[in-house]
Structure 1
């Protein structure tokens, strides 16, 4: 571990703030080397007691206080955690970020937040922060294109924990959701409400989470002795516009359906809009279920049933994993999978017998 070798401190009392005390000034006044001052600051035991007293008297007299950041850098740590997210406008980023901040701040660490909003330019700026060792470890809400870069960062010795691994399961610590179990829960709930003609708006098929949600849904339907009609499965892009476009396409070209599972809440919001535009009532004509449980889900018309990802808990768990690693505790490289849960609201209200005969 390196020692603190100096930084700018506070202004000398009486100087009107025009001069700032440096470690060199403290060393000159105490008639010692900067290294000796450093060793006093770092509470090293091999400094002569009288010398240490003299140095501390000069420090007190001049008002010199080293910056905490500079001390950390000199010791090889910043007590700062970096976090890279795709963007701050993504609906559930705030919940994950709050979970991270609660844990990090309570442990006395700072949080350095970066986004990939500007694509390559953002990643270039982030790479400079990595090169400058601006943080001790990294939490990353994985943008799809980042997987190959994560291995390089991890192998270089930077502690990395991924949040929401999109089903890719990188070979280092990550925290994700049980997407397959969530998809199965969505199917079982729709079947329990009497729906049997099930449609699905998936996420992009190259996302592992979309494949897991589709496969879990398919498993539960098969276990119930039913089959999914491939004509009622259409791919979206996780944005609300794609959910609306998908449902309007299904209404125009596909067979009849009485329920829709959208792979995230944003697409489910689009599905609701498309059904409303087409004059279909929810849930009387079609039940709709989403995935995520973003804050908006409770305020749609009707309120949206969804599969809840425990977003804040995921942020907390990832932050705890990273801080443990920074504290020298080895972390398993197997993913930590956080279970989902079903949140029932009005968009999947059970069909009455009368409604079923209509």
Structure 2
């Protein structure tokens, strides 16, 4: 098998793909963390050598007073959601000769605060924070220290906090309206973490669409999930066990929709003949599922790209005023939605 050609423009994503490991593993090796298996470390170092990847952070910092490193805080690395965000982030960082330092929080407040404080003390020039759980614990401190940061897919706690989000309310409204226009009246929803603004706005859009079409909002058709496939599975089973189950389900993420598909398959329920399903995000997998998933496209790569450009502008031209951005969502109609099945006597 032919090897990839070595290039001085190789990125952390290139190294991860070459070595067959995750982005976070490459980040741990680059930053000389101890909790990497020796054989994995050797594999990553060999990939870095083949690709000509270099990350001489200390020399850069001494030469220009900056580390030329951007810190990225994410919940985990198990979803295409994060991968699509990183695609946009990496594109901008590579073009501007910055490196990426990646940490995962797994929704633990203490880890989130600890990583932010650590990176803000010289390890990075700025921070990108995706879906923060406890921003109140550290954003005030970052502002007081004038340390650059941008929040992704979450609003800040102060009007000066810079954020890049998607139009989640509009997306939730469009998803629900699509199901209503197909003829559905009992529409269930499986939400994400309700401490996340994105999840609350998608629910608000769902409720507004029902109200606009004179359909009563029913609490028993709402299941609180956590954006994961397992919550989609449990949420779908809960909704389908109702005395009057929904004829359609709005899943607040495509991963949740995958869980709904698992539950439907276990019950021999056909999508969309017996149950319509719509997701949110439009991760690459949604277009190759059977049936292909109708969903709301969130411009994830553009969100990562936009947030990174904003952060670099804060670092390089702090005197210039930046403004938060809300990117539009788009309804993508595929195969998983259809008019409700009507039994005939």
Q: Is the TM-score greater than 0.5?
A: yes
Gap change, CA 1:300 and 1:330, over 3 Å in 2: farther
Matched residue count:
287
**Residues 11-90 of structure 1 aligned to structure 2 (within 5 Å):** 69-70=58-59, 72-73=61-62, 75-90=64-79
- 1:115 deviates by 2.0
Separation (CA, whole Å) in 1 of partners of 2:173 and 2:243: 23
Match status 1:305 vs 2:265: no
What does residue 14 of structure 1 align with?
none
Matching residue within 103, 120, 133 for 1:130 = 120
What does residue 197 of structure 2 align with?
208
Gap change, CA 1:202 and 1:127, over 3 Å in 2: same
Separation (CA, whole Å) in 1 of partners of 2:262 and 2:320: 45
What does residue 244 of structure 1 align with?
233
Matching residue within 236, 256, 264 for 1:275 = 264
- 1:152 deviates by 1.4
Contact 1:174/1:335 (8 A) holds in 2 = yes
* Bigger Rg, structure 1 or 2: 1
- 1:256 deviates by 3.0
Matching residue within 145, 153, 173 for 2:134 = 145
Q: Deviations over 1:41-88 (max 9, x none)?
A: xxxxxxxxxxxxxxxxxxxxxxxxxx7843533542222222122222
Q: Deviations over 1:230-252 (max 9, x none)?
A: 22111112111111112212222
Q: Deviations over 1:105-158 (max 9, x none)?
A: 102222222222495467545533432x12211111133124421231232111
Match status 1:256 vs 2:242: no
Match status 1:156 vs 2:127: no
Equivalent position SS for 1:347: coil
Equivalent position SS for 2:123: coil
What does residue 337 of structure 2 align with?
348
Equivalent position SS for 1:236: coil
Consecutive aligned runs of 4 or more in structure 1 exceeding 6 Å deviation: none
Separation (CA, whole Å) in 2 of partners of 1:77 and 1:129: 13
Q: Deviations over 1:240-295 (max 9, x none)?
A: 11111122122223423211001111111111111222222111111000111112
What does residue 217 of structure 2 align with?
228
What does residue 318 of structure 1 align with?
307
Match status 1:107 vs 2:96: yes
